[in-house]
Amino acid sequence: MSRFDKTVALVTGAGHGIGRAIAQQLAKDGAIVSVLEIDMEKGQETVDMLKADGYQAYLVKADIANFEEVETAFAKVAKKFGPIKLLVNNAALSIAGNLEDISLDVWHKEIDVNLNGPYHCIRAIVPSMKAAGGGVIVNISSVNGVRYFGSPSYSAAKAGIISLTQSVASEFGGDGIRCNAVLPGSVRTDAISWTTRLEKDPHIFEKLGRWYPVGRVGEPDDIAKVVSFLGSDEAGFISGVALPVDGGLLAGMNVMIDDFILES
Ligand SMILES: NC(=O)c1ccc[n+]([C@@H]2O[C@H](COP(=O)([O-])OP(=O)(O)OC[C@H]3O[C@@H](n4cnc5c(N)ncnc54)[C@H](O)[C@@H]3O)[C@@H](O)[C@H]2O)c1
């Protein structure tokens, strides 16, 4: 028997990287997956890949920063497959910068997409999850939500998602809704923030791997497998957590320790 028995799932930002891997994993595990994207070309690519593998899939367009667009997209999915029972808030954008020279526009844009976006999706989904007797929400936060690794506006939004996760888990647990956050470390994707850095240094992922106790950065599948588990009944007693999926990055500072050892 599959993990999800035709559970109706929706993954935001599933046209690229981690979101695409999550959509593929959920479909493989038996869910009916809808892809919500602002980039319809990339979203369609994911849907085509899912269909080529023999899965049902559906594409809806929305900018998660716009509540009305999210509501309309969710209603389309519900009309086609029934109420969404598993929501993965994955879509985000990251614009590098530091506090001193970040523009007001960048700050507002990152909070709008990366924090207000997931909130819009949660606001739009909770009534139907309550009516259906429950559901599961998995929010993709980041290690940036609990430590400073640059990108302050992105980090503030990702920290906000952890708090939002706790609010949802606490307030709607009695309605059968579980909500958890996943905190990826660096994951090799073609996100614009990585492609820009890769242009400057083609070995950036190998260099970054030194900071990770497991000796490497993450791959989209590393995150997708955890999201699938958290979305399933196997995780039925897990709610409100912020789970690092980071190869041990937050556990220690290997590069610093290596320097100590060299010096002593
Ligand atoms: N890649 C990493 O190293 C890393 C690390 C920690 C956390 N994360 C998080 O994982 C998630 C996925 O990251 P990724 O690297 O795959 O990113 P990505 O940029 O490759 O993909 C993000 C997707 O979201 C979509 N999107 C962006 N803005 C949108 C909007 N307003 N409305 C709807 N869709 C929108 C994009 O079109 C894109 O397909 C994000 O939440 C990101 O913050 C990534």
The answer to the question of residue 263 being in a domain is: no
- Inform me whether the pLDDT recorded for 264 exceeds 70: no
Q: How many CB atoms lie within 10 A of CB 200?
A: 7
C-beta of 64 in contact with ligand 1 (< 6 A): yes
Does residue 158 carry a catalytic annotation?
yes
Pairing type for strands 135-140 and 86-89 reads parallel
State in Å: Cα 89 to ligand 1 middle: 10
The answer to the question of residue 196 being in a domain is: no
C-beta of 15 in contact with ligand 1 (< 6 A): yes
The answer to the question of residue 258 being in a domain is: no
The answer to the question of residue 1 being in a domain is: no
**30 falls in which pLDDT band (50, 70, 90)?**
very high
State in Å: Cα 126 to ligand 1 middle: 23
The answer to the question of residue 125 being in a domain is: yes
What residues contact residue 241 under an 8 Å CB cut-off, 6+ apart? 165, 180, 181
Average pLDDT over residues 9-31: 98
pLDDT digits (tens, 9 = 90+) for 141-186: 999 999 999 999 999 999 999 999 999 999 999 999 999 999 999 9
Q: How far apart are CA 111 and CA 93, in angstroms?
A: 10
CATH of the domain at 30: 3.40.50.720
**CA atoms 9, 15, 19, 21: torsion sign:** positive
**258 falls in which pLDDT band (50, 70, 90)?**
confident
Q: How far apart are CA 117 and CA 120, in angstroms?
A: 5
pLDDT digits (tens, 9 = 90+) for 178-207: 999 999 999 999 888 888 888 999 999 999
- Count of residues making up the chain: 264
Q: Domain count of the chain?
A: 1
Q: What is the pLDDT of residue 263?
A: 58
What residues contact residue 141 under an 8 Å CB cut-off, 6+ apart? 158, 159, 161, 162, 165, 181, 182, 183, 242
The answer to the question of residue 204 being in a domain is: no
- Give the range of the structural domain holding residue 19, as residue numbers without chain letter: 8-189+218-247
Q: What is the pLDDT of residue 262?
A: 64
The answer to the question of residue 169 being in a domain is: yes
